[in-house]
Structure 1
Amino acid sequence: MRAAYNEQMTDLAKLLGEMAGLAGSAMERATQSLLQADLTLAEQVITEYDRIAELSQLAEERAFALLALQAPVAGDLRSVVSGIQIVADVDRMGALALHVAKIARRRHPNHVLPEEVNGYFAEMGRIAVQLGASAKEVLETRDPERAARLREEDEAMDDLHRHLFTVLMDRDWKHGVAAAVDVTLLGRFYERFADHAVEVGRRVIFLVTGKMPTDADAPLHSAQ
């Protein structure tokens, strides 16, 4: 029974890692579709989100089966419940990439972004992809120290998001309300993608240590 449980938990961790990898790849393509007004890439992200949704459902089913059939307690129960919560975070990351692609598709053949903010979104996209890869690594390794560093990676995203608003609020903004709304929404999508990646890291820390961190830089101690 114990061997079967460990094997099922390993399979669940691999599944979650695969989902995080797909979410990161989706955001990478969504960003390119946004910057280049590339309809083909946008459609690819929209179509391939079905795979993330499929894996999300499968991961939930496996996690709930573990609850029902294995009746885990203590640390085992913590692992399963954390897995269920992580499914929701990673699924949301994929959905946010989907939202970016849908805006790019809706504005095609026009570019969504004014040229002056392209650099912001190119860098936000780069950070989002990096965070997706980091979330995948953390899910596969369950390394709490590495998981804690996701908070640091997210700080650059937060800085860019704040700076983006200074551009929008500048009196010289000449692109109209519709463009401002698009930029605001897109900035929020990237920020939330990063936030969910950080949340994955926090949940992995909880899974391993038994303590949900309030400060990702705090020392980590494994629970008994």
Structure 2
Amino acid sequence: MREAYQSDLRHLVDDLVDMASMVGSALEDATAALLEGDLGLAERVIAADPHIDERQIDLDSKTVELLARQSPVATDLRLLVASLRMSSSLERMGDLCAHVALVARRSHPELAVPEQHRAQIQKMSDLAAAALRDAAVVITDRDLALAAQVEKNDDELDDLQQQIAREIGKGQDYTNTQIVDLTLLIRFYERLGDHAVSLVRRVGFLVTGDAVDTLHQSTDVPEF
């Protein structure tokens, strides 16, 4: 019985990593659709988002069942509690990828991102994707040193968001639609980074038992 229980806990971790992989693919495809004007790819990202939602529902159901059936304590309890929060963050990351794809679809056949911002948006996407990959490693290995690096690297995403926002504010060569789309897009990518930070902080709670600072900008992520 104990071996089966431990196997169930390991499967929860595997499910979280699988969700992270699904979100990573969605992020890569959404950015490609956005920058290349690939309508078909945008549609696939949007259509795939409910599957990420379903994975969250399934994972949370397993977690609640283990909580009810096993009455876990100590580290096992923290794992189950953290799992519920991490699955929620991953589901929101999937939603944000779908939002990027929706901008790409709405702008088609035009490109939503002006030429002067394409490299910056690609960089924001790359940073968010790297943060998500590192977060998956942190979830698997409980690597708190890497978790700290994810938090540190998130500052670069924040800086890029602010840089683009300043350039939009100064520029005169944007349509109203471009201003709205760019403002939304940089917010989406910045929020992806925040959710990655939230993931690694939940692992910190799992390992140390220290409460997550819910007043911290990068862990108390609003619904967006």
- Judge same fold: TM > 0.5, yes or no: yes
Structure 2: runs of 5 or more not aligned: 214-224
Aligned pairs for 1:184-195 within 5 A: 184-195=183-194
Change (3 A) 1:69 1:213: closer
1:143-193 residue CA offsets vs partner (Å, 9 max, x unmatched): 2222222102211111101101111110x3311222101100110000001
What's 1:79 paired with?
A: 79
Aligned pairs for 1:81-96 within 5 A: 81-96=81-96
1:35-93 residue CA offsets vs partner (Å, 9 max, x unmatched): 11111111111122122112111110111011110111222211111110101011111
Amino acid at match of 1:211: D
Equivalent-residue separation in structure 2 for 1:28 and 1:212 (angstroms): 33
Q: Is 1:13–1:140's contact at 8 Å kept on the other side of the alignment?
A: yes
Amino acid at match of 1:143: D
Equivalent-residue separation in structure 2 for 1:148 and 1:64 (angstroms): 29
What's 1:202 paired with?
A: 201
* Aligned structure 1 segments of 4 or more residues deviating by more than 4 angstroms: none
Root mean square deviation, CA, Å: 1.4
Q: Is 1:167–1:173's contact at 8 Å kept on the other side of the alignment?
A: no
Equivalent-residue separation in structure 2 for 1:93 and 1:173 (angstroms): 32
1:63 maps onto 2:63 in alignment: yes
Amino acid at match of 1:192: R
Amino acid at match of 1:39: L
Q: Please say which of residues 21-30 and 133-142 is displaced more in the overlay.
A: 133-142
Amino acid at match of 2:194: D
1:109 maps onto 2:109 in alignment: yes
Q: Is 1:30–1:100's contact at 8 Å kept on the other side of the alignment?
A: yes
When normalised by structure 2's length, the TM-score is 0.91
Match of 1:149, SS state, is: helix
Q: CA deviation at 1:121?
A: 0.3
Amino acid at match of 2:67: L
Q: Is 1:30–1:101's contact at 8 Å kept on the other side of the alignment?
A: yes
Equivalent-residue separation in structure 2 for 1:91 and 1:17 (angstroms): 12
Q: Is 1:14–1:139's contact at 8 Å kept on the other side of the alignment?
A: no
Equivalent-residue separation in structure 1 for 2:212 and 2:172 (angstroms): 40
Aligned pairs for 1:1-224 within 5 A: 1-170=1-170, 172-212=171-211
Structure 1: runs of 5 or more not aligned: 215-224
Equivalent-residue separation in structure 2 for 1:13 and 1:64 (angstroms): 14
